[in-house]
Amino acid sequence: MKIVFANSAWVSAAEKLILRGGGWQKIRLRVRYGLIIHPQAGPVLIDTGYTPHVTTGARRSAMLRLYGAVLGPELVEAGQPMSVLARFGLTPRDIRTIIVTHFHADHISGLPLFPNARFIASDAAWSRLKARTARQNLRHGAFTELFPADFETRLDGLSAMRQIPSRGDIPGGADLFGDGSVIAVDLPGHADGQFGLLFPEMDRPLLYAVDVQWLLKALVENRTPGFPARLLAEDFTAIDRTSAALRRFLAAGGEVIFCHDPGLTPYDLTPEGG
């Protein structure tokens, strides 16, 4: 099984906002998404990163336009899904599965590009999203206009999947492909229903921990940012508990990757155009 990550865009933020005790200097952050070449499931995407649906889409709502203007993502052409798939001789129609780690725009904006894909996501979080008003969903960072109209009919919920128990400091969760190779690990705090992906069969167990923190340094040094970051979190009090579990995983010999950390990892595709 092969796992790679691509950088769909750069966004900039003051260090102080993403690292407790940091300065006002700007840090450029990646917006990763992943591609798994699975021996049974075939090519599988992990989220989609930022795409032009967020930055230039003609039918964007006023709130989505404001969101794009405030965050100002700089799209990386070589890191867009179409370009990355082409490097592997693939097209969007070859993608039959997309793992949606949570419902924020920088993770779902490219879902409409994949007409043949089924979506693995938290069905509990999807039920809560459906029950909320548009204004409430904005508070939770979800833009419903970015979802394909038939998202629900193509949804394979985590609740129906076999659960693998934790083993010491190696977390358990939903067995996505029935072979123990990719496990969805609940990671509460940042977003409703957020889960990461554990690859336990790697030489060094790998956990893609998505947005638990923006910087690996914040995790390792226990420097979770406070205000105003707490205003953006679904459950700010849960972030410390989740981060502590990740530090135990690291201490047990595991490896952690975050979506936005700017440092290159052995799994990142290069060159990336930025």
pLDDT tens-place string over residues 73-126: 999 999 999 999 999 999 999 999 999 999 999 999 999 999 999 999 999 999
Domain definitions of the chain by residue range: 2-257
Predicted pLDDT of residue 42: 97
Predicted pLDDT of residue 272: 60
Predicted pLDDT of residue 47: 98
Phi, psi of 12, rounded to the nearest 5 degrees: -115, 140
Band (pLDDT 50/70/90 cuts) for residue 271 is confident
Is the predicted pLDDT of residue 273 greater than 50, yes or no?
A: no
Predicted pLDDT of residue 226: 84
Please state, in angstroms and as integers, the Cα–Cα distance from residue 215 to each residue in 19, 87, 206, 222, following that order.
7, 28, 17, 11
Section 256-269 average pLDDT? 98
Predicted pLDDT of residue 266: 96
Band (pLDDT 50/70/90 cuts) for residue 232 is confident
Task: Report the number of secondary-structure helices (H) and strands (E) in the chain.
Answer: 10, 13
Handedness of CA 6, 141, 170, 41 (dihedral sign): negative
Mean pLDDT of the chain: 95
* Rounded CA separation 61/57 (Å): 9
Exposure b/e, 119-135, CB count within 10 A at least 16 = b: bbbbbebbebbeeeeee
Please state, in angstroms and as integers, the Cα–Cα distance from residue 166 to each residue in 126, 170, 200, following that order.
25, 6, 11
Residues 130-146: tens digit of each pLDDT:
999 988 998 888 999 99
The amino acid sitting at 26 is K
Question: Computed over its alpha carbons, how large is the radius of gyration of the chain?
Answer: 17
- What's the chain's length in residues? 274
CATH of 2-257 among 3.60.15.10, 3.40.640.10, 1.20.1560.10, 3.90.1570.10 = 3.60.15.10
Predicted pLDDT of residue 134: 86
